[in-house]
Structure formats: structure tokens, C-alpha cells
């Protein structure tokens, strides 16, 4: 397993994480098998948004004696109403469900207290203009949560939350289809397979701005809907000419700025093993560039961080270099220390480019790499 640092928290997450939604309303035995398989594979982060006591207790029981081996994203304001998941900002109700979460898991802390489902302006106000945020801050002060996170599907609202400077972690719905949707199209329609291919245009600027903003602010992203609820793997629903594989979807997510972990919903131990098999695949097996390029011709000039252009004779990690350049260009006059550090940590920086042009010939997205290498040297100084 590989691990990535979660911003400034001092915690590190496995790049493959566990989504537990499919364990809801399932027998304990299954829950234990999935959690055993995940921990044995080195998975150390899981999301638990479900409000039901039974599934929380099952997970707590399966984790008995191993609580410290896993980082838990627990959601504040995820409640049950008429048998359905529902969100509330009512502090009394949030407290009741949060205390139940601690009790059910038999723990006295949650690693990431996630402000649940902050998508709309109304959600934003419900969080930041009410006592809800005071409650969340108090939980952190008391050590009942170690860090504050948020879950969202909306890039504009999520960016606004990141700008508050209060969060360390964003759980975001992220996959290549969502990233290429025009800003005015709903994710729900996309998930229902109701869109025709022309509605998938180019990189959605709001979403890419969000990823870069997170990285520049030291906010880590964990992803949900990485496989588009399985639809990206289906020839009937994939908006690209071919379905993607799970490994290609995972690789896409893990190569976006700020992403530390993809949380894959698993309902069997075989699903866990399939998800972690990503780690042993070749670069070719993970490469998503040709499928996305074949489906969408309009991505020209935008680096997709796919590294399809390697090998580079100067051994530059081209995708990592261009990712850091993109983040730096958010505000070239004040590049964050973290981004500068990451750039300086590269084994070979842009200054090593010998302008052979091999990468530009290989890039499926017509990225003017040499020009970008010059810009990187200008901005970072090496």
C-alpha cells in the first residue's frame, strides 16, 4: 500500500480507502470480512456517513482492538428520516447522532468530523451562519474530532468552504465524466445516463480550480463516486467511446491535485481485493488518456496529468511538474510553501528539459510541454 500525507494534520491515508455504504443493512459477518480484508491490505482510511445504529455497531465490532489502525471520516448532520438518509444542521440532532457514532464504534474520537453534504448556498449558510459550525469547532477543541472535513458534490460551494481556512479534508465526488461535464449540467442527470456525449465538453473549470485551490491551501481530497457508481465501467453508460476499467478510474482520481485517497465502496472482500489490485498494475494498465481522448476531442492543450508522454530522456516527471505549475499559476505572485517544497522535491525539475520534443509528440492532448517547462523554470527558479 502507498500512503499520502493529509495536509497539515500529520496523518497519512492509504491511497485506496474504504467506502462503507454497501455495508448498511447487511449482516455482521459480511462487514467483518470486508473490514478484515481492507485492513490486511493496508487500507487505513474509511468513510462512514450512514446514520443507522446497526451498521455503526457492526463496524465498531469489526474494528474491535484495531481502532487506531484506521482513520474514520464520520459525518456530522447525517441523519435518518423515514428510513432515508437526510441532512440536518440542527445541533441537538447532530449531537445525538454524533454521540451515537462514538458509542457505536466504542471510541472517544473520530479522526475527521465531516460537515455533511454541503452543496448548495443554503447548505453553506446552514453550516456557517448557524450554531452548527460552533458545535463542530467545539468538537475539535474537545478532541472528539481530530480535524474538520466536509463532503460536497459542488465545486463552487466546496471552494467557498476551503476558503474559510477551517477544514483539512474535502470528500468530493470526482471522476473523469464529472470533470468533463459543462458546469450547468447536474451530476444526477449524468449518473442516470441521460446525457448525450456532446454534453461532456472539456475540463470543467470550477472543478479544476477547486483541486488546485485545495492543494495550494494544504487541504487534502478524498474521492467518492470514483467509478461513477460503476457506470463508467459499463458500455451502456460510459460517456467515453469505451468503458473505463476500475484501475483507470482510480488512477485518474489519484492523479488530480490534492487527492490523497480514493474511497471505494466495497460490499465483499473480493471488491476490496479488486480495488487494491490497482497497486500491482503496470502504468499501461492504469493509463486512461487514450480512452478519454478518443471520447472527447476538445481537451486540447490541457494537461490531464496522465504521464502518457513518458519516458523523458531528462527523467522529468512531466505530469507532476505540470500539475505543480498549474497550481502555482492560480496565483503566481504568492506560491505556497507547500507547493514550492513539492516542486523542489522533484528529482528532476523543469530546468533539466533538453527540449527534445518527444513528450509533445506522445501527448494525446497536444499540451505544449516545452513552453510549460520554461514557465515552470521562470516561476520556481529551477
Q: What is the binding site for ligand SF4 (CB under 6 A)?
A: 289, 303-309, 312-314, 316, 318-319, 322, 353-359, 363, 365, 367, 369-370, 373
DSSP run (H or E) holding 43: none
Question: At closest approach, how far in Å is the CB of 122 from ligand SF4?
Answer: 37
- Residue 41 or 367: the one with the smaller Cβ distance to ligand SF4 is 367
Q: Long-range contacts made by residues 341-348, C-beta under 8 angstroms, separation at least 24?
A: 343/376, 343/380, 344/380, 344/382, 346/316, 346/317, 346/320, 346/321, 347/315, 347/317, 348/314, 348/315, 348/316, 348/317
Question: At closest approach, how far in Å is the CB of 281 from ligand SF4?
Answer: 18
Which residue, among 371, 204, 372, 200, has the nearest Cα to 291 in the 3D structure?
200
- Residue 132 or 305: the one with the smaller Cβ distance to ligand SF4 is 305
Q: What is the DSSP letter of 142?
A: T
Rounded CA-CA distance 246/188 in Å is 21
Question: At closest approach, how far in Å is the CB of 286 from ligand SF4?
Answer: 12
> Across the strands, what pairs with 65?
none
- Residue 187 or 320: the one with the smaller Cβ distance to ligand SF4 is 320
Question: At closest approach, how far in Å is the CB of 311 from ligand SF4?
Answer: 8
- Residue 238 or 349: the one with the smaller Cβ distance to ligand SF4 is 349
- Residue 140 or 362: the one with the smaller Cβ distance to ligand SF4 is 362
- Residue 115 or 304: the one with the smaller Cβ distance to ligand SF4 is 304
Query: What is the separation, in whole angstroms, between the first and last Cα of the chain?
Result: 32
Q: Are 44 and 3 in contact (CB under 8 A)?
A: yes
Question: At closest approach, how far in Å is the CB of 182 from ligand SF4?
Answer: 21
Question: At closest approach, how far in Å is the CB of 338 from ligand SF4?
Answer: 21
- Residue 141 or 361: the one with the smaller Cβ distance to ligand SF4 is 361
Between β-strands 12-14 and 16-19, what pairing exists: parallel, antiparallel or unpaired?
unpaired
Question: At closest approach, how far in Å is the CB of 302 from ligand SF4?
Answer: 7
Between β-strands 78-81 and 84-87, what pairing exists: parallel, antiparallel or unpaired?
antiparallel
Amino acid at each position: 500500500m502507498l500512503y499520502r500525507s493529509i495536509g497539515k494534520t500529520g496523518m497519512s491515508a492509504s491511497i485506496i480507502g474504504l467506502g462503507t455504504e454497501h455495508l448498511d443493512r447487511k449482516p455482521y459477518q459480511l462487514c467483518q470480512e470486508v473490514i478484515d480484508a481492507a485492513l490486511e491490505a493496508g487500507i487505513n482510511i474509511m468513510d462512514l456517513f450512514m446514520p443507522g445504529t446497526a451498521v455503526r455497531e457492526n463496524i465498531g465490532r469489526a474494528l474491535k482492538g484495531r481502532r487506531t489502525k484506521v482513520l474514520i471520516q464520520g459525518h456530522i448532520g447525517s441523519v435518518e428520516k423515514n428510513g432515508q438518509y437526510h441532512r440536518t444542521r440542527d445541533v441537538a440532532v447532530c449531537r445525538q447522532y454524533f454521540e451515537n457514532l462514538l458509542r457505536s464504534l466504542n471510541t472517544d474520537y473520530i479522526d475527521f468530523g465531516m460537515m455533511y453534504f454541503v452543496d448548495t448556498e443554503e447548505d453553506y449558510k446552514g453550516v456557517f451562519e448557524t450554531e452548527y459550525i460552533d458545535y463542530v469547532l467545539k468538537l475539535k477543541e474537545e478532541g472528539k474530532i481530530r480535524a474538520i472535513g466536509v463532503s460536497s458534490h459542488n465545486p463552487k460551494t466546496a471552494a467557498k468552504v476551503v476558503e474559510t481556512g477551517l477544514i483539512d479534508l474535502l470528500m468530493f465526488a470526482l471522476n473523469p465524466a464529472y470533470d468533463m461535464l459543462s458546469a450547468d449540467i447536474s451530476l444526477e442527470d449524468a449518473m442516470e445516463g441521460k446525457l448525450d456525449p456532446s454534453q461532456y465538453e472539456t475540463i470543467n473549470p470550477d472543478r479544476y480550480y477547486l483541486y488546485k485551490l485545495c492543494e495550494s491551501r494544504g487541504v487534502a481530497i478524498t474521492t467518492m463516486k470514483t467509478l461513477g457508481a460503476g457506470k463508467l465501467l459499463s458500455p451502456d453508460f460510459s460517456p467515453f467511446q469505451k468503458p473505463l476499467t476500475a484501475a483507470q478510474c482510480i488512477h485518474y482520481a489519484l492523479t488530480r491535485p490534492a487527492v490523497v485517497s480514493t474511497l471505494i465502496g466495497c460490499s465483499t472482500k473480493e471488491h476490496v481485493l479488486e480495488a487494491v489490485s490497482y497497486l500491482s498494475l503496470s502504468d499501461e494498465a492504469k493509463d486512461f488518456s487514450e480512452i478519454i481522448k478518443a471520447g472527447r476531442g476538445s481537451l486540447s492543450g490541457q494537461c490531464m496529468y496522465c504521464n502518457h508522454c513518458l519516458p523523458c530522456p531528462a527523467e522529468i516527471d512531466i505530469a507532476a511538474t505540470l500539475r505543480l505549475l498549474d497550481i502555482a499559476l492560480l496565483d503566481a505572485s504568492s506560491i505556497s510553501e507547500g507547493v514550492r517544497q513539492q516542486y523542489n522535491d522533484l528529482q528532476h525539475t523543469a530546468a533539466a528539459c533538453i527540449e527534445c520534443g518527444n513528450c509533445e509528440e506522445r501527448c494525446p492532448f497536444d499540451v505544449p510541454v516545452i513552453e510549460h517547462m520554461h514557465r515552470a523554470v521562470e516561476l520556481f527558479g529551477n
